[in-house]
């Protein structure tokens, strides 16, 4: 059983998946920082500093004791947090879309260069002697008809 487990863990697909998870976690931290620290403050400026997170619909107000201590906390629907989450999701989706688009463009450029090099290498190699001989025979047979 141990040998089977070891073979399973060391299989390429499992290692690739583990690396992908670690890289995705690191990439998530970068994207979250970009959204929270750079893009959301800009959106806040565009919306005149509205703090969506503080928007809520109070169902029942908090009750205080005579000394000002909260006896029962308020019951509220925090719809502003949902608005924040939706905005952050859309911004993250745009950022990921742009990153994927840039990667695809770079990959297409790299593929085009590799294809061009392969075509140049194929064109530089002369045909084999037997191919040349067969081509000559074919051409002679065409002229005899």
Give per-residue pLDDT as tens, 8-50. 777 767 777 888 888 888 888 888 888 888 887 887 788 787 7
Indicate whether 27 and 86 sit together in one domain.
Answer: no
Instruction: Based on the fold, state whether residues 18 and 68 are members of the same structural domain.
Output: no
Residue 80's domain spans which residues? 51-145
- Altogether, the residues listed in the chain come to a count of 145
Global pTM reads 0.56
Q: Both 83 and 141 in a single domain?
A: yes
For residue 116 the two structure tokens come to 């061009």
With H, G, I as helix, E, B as strand and everything else as coil, classify residue 59. strand
Number of domains into which the chain is organized: 2
Same domain, residue pair 37 and 59: no
Pair 61, 93 in one domain: yes
The two three-digit tokens of residue 4, written as one number: 């089977």
């Amino acid at each position: 059983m141990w040998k089977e487990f070891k073979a399973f863990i060391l299989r390429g697909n499992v290692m690739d998946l583990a690396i992908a998870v670690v890289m995705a976690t690191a990439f998530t931290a970068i994207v979250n920082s970009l959204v929270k620290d750079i893009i959301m403050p800009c959106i806040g400026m565009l919306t005149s500093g509205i703090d969506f997170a503080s928007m809520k619909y109070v169902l029942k107000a908090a009750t205080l004791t005579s000394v000002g201590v909260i006896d029962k906390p308020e019951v509220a629907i925090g719809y502003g947090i949902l608005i924040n989450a939706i905005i952050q999701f859309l911004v993250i989706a745009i950022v990921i879309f742009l990153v994927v688009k840039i990667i695809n463009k770079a990959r297409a450029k790299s593929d085009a260069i590799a294809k061009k090099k392969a075509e140049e290498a194929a064109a530089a190699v002369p045909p084999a002697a037997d191919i040349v001989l067969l081509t000559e025979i074919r051409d002679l047979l065409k002229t005899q008809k």
